[in-house]
């Protein structure tokens, strides 16, 4: 690992990932051993590696898998669901499964066709549905925190994009931990300091079976273009991505210290249909989407 000036054997690498995960959880005060942790598992390397590490560290975890009804050439959703299920049963862990088509009547591509948000690609409809569903399951099943497998490359790509467009609101909110708010369970990203190569190496060395294909809709996305660009910079100077992210977290305290944090503190309303919090009175964006389609 050039960025850390560190070379480890298999045994010590697996141990290192678990130790660093625990350090990250404590550093950003994400959760404790007494909490019930809900892991959002996509069947990919990051979220399964995260579930594995948390389980090895002795945290109390359950998983949630959302079947989005995406087929592509390779039955993307079916394949990823079966890998998430296999991991859960091999490790004797609970996995909650949500099927968007059977629960809400349509698959993600179908919702996207009938929805303004998804004129080009279904990704924004998909993001809205995932956020809503994860929070709904987490709250209903009594979990204390929701964790996702976002890694450093994901975070840096989003950060880069937000800086390019000076999206101040998004920059203010980008954080390893989004604290709880009325009706919203806290969200944490314990892998946010690991390079994608490191989470992939962990998954392989820990013998985790994961889906290698990306979602078919991610092809040509801005996120992927940003990742390529940032990999280029990283190649020229090892550690660039980590420094960009960590220095941002430090600078954030200063940048936003004297700005009123109105977006965090503004009151939320309860959606009359689903009961989940929403920034405006009336049905939440999720319910509007489901009823409109
Ligand atoms: P992505 O936005 O696809 O890069 O995924 C980021 C994180 O969101 C993953 O590491 C998972 O923790 C979670 N996630 C993505 N897709 C799903 C899904 N279908 N079901 C549950 N969690 C998911
Ligand atoms: Fe949601 Fe691809 S559109 S995962
Ligand atoms: Zn609603």
pLDDT of residue 116: 62
Cα(288)–Cα(131) distance, integer angstroms: 15
pLDDT of residue 121: 80
Centroid of ligand 1 to alpha carbon of 47 (angstroms): 7
Cα(207)–Cα(56) distance, integer angstroms: 14
Atom index in ligand 2 nearest the CA of residue 122 equals 3
pLDDT of residue 117: 55
The ligand minimizing its distance to the Cα of 128 is 2
Residue nearest to atom 3 of ligand 2 (CA): 123
* From 46, 145, 149, mutation site for ligand 1 pocket: most ligand atoms within 8 A of C-beta: 149
CATH number of 2-212+219-267: 3.40.50.620
pLDDT of residue 261: 56
Each domain of the chain, given as residue ranges in start order, spans: 2-212+219-267
Centroid of ligand 2 to alpha carbon of 108 (angstroms): 8
pLDDT 10s per residue in the chain (293 long)?
999 999 999 999 999 999 999 999 999 999 999 999 999 999 999 999 999 999 999 999 999 999 999 987 678 899 999 999 999 999 999 999 999 999 999 999 998 887 765 466 889 899 999 999 999 999 999 999 999 999 999 999 999 999 999 999 999 999 999 999 989 999 999 999 999 999 999 999 999 999 999 888 988 889 999 999 999 999 999 999 999 999 999 999 998 887 655 555 677 899 999 999 998 999 999 999 888 75
Name the residue among 40, 1, 34, 16 with its Cα closest to residue 189.
40
Centroid of ligand 3 to alpha carbon of 120 (angstroms): 24
* From 98, 126, 154, mutation site for ligand 2 pocket: most ligand atoms within 8 A of C-beta: 126
Task: Tell me 194's DSSP state.
Answer: S
User: DSSP characters for 6-64?
Assistant: ----HHHHHHHHHHHHHHHHHHTT---TTSEEEEE--SSHHHHHHHHHHHHTT-EEEEE
pLDDT of residue 267: 79
């Amino acid at each position: 690992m050039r960025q850390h000036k560190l070379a480890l054997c298999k045994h010590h690498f697996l141990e290192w990932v678990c130790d660093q995960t625990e350090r990250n959880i404590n550093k950003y005060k994400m959760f404790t051993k007494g909490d019930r942790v809900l892991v959002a598992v996509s069947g990919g390397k990051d979220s399964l590696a995260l579930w594995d590490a948390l389980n090895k560290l002795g945290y109390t975890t359950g998983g949630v898998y959302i079947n989005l009804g995406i087929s592509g050439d390779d039955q993307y959703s079916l394949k990823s669901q079966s890998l998430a299920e296999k991991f859960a049963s091999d490790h004797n862990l609970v996995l909650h499964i949500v099927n968007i088509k059977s629960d809400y009547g349509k698959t993600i591509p179908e919702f996207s066709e009938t929805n303004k948000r998804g004129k080009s690609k279904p990704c924004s409809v998909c993001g809205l549905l995932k956020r809503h569903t994860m929070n709904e399951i987490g709250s209903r099943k009594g979990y204390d925190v929701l964790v996702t497998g976002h890694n450093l490359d994901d975070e840096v790509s989003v950060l880069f994009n937000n800086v390019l467009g000076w999206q101040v609101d998004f920059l203010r909110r980008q954080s390893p931990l989004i604290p709880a708010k009325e009706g919203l369970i806290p969200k944490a990203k314990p892998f946010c300091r690991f390079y994608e190569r490191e989470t992939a190496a962990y998954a392989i060395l820990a013998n985790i079976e994961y889906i290698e294909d990306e979602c078919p809709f991610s092809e040509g996305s801005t996120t992927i273009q940003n990742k390529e660009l940032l990999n280029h910079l990283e190649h020229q100077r090892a550690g660039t991505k980590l420094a960009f992210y960590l220095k941002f977290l430090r600078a954030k305290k200063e940048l936003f210290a004297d700005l009123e944090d109105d977006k965090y503190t503004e009151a939320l309303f309860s959606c009359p249909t689903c009961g989940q919090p929403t920034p405006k009175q009336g049905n939440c964006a999720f319910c509007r989407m489901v009823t409109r389609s």
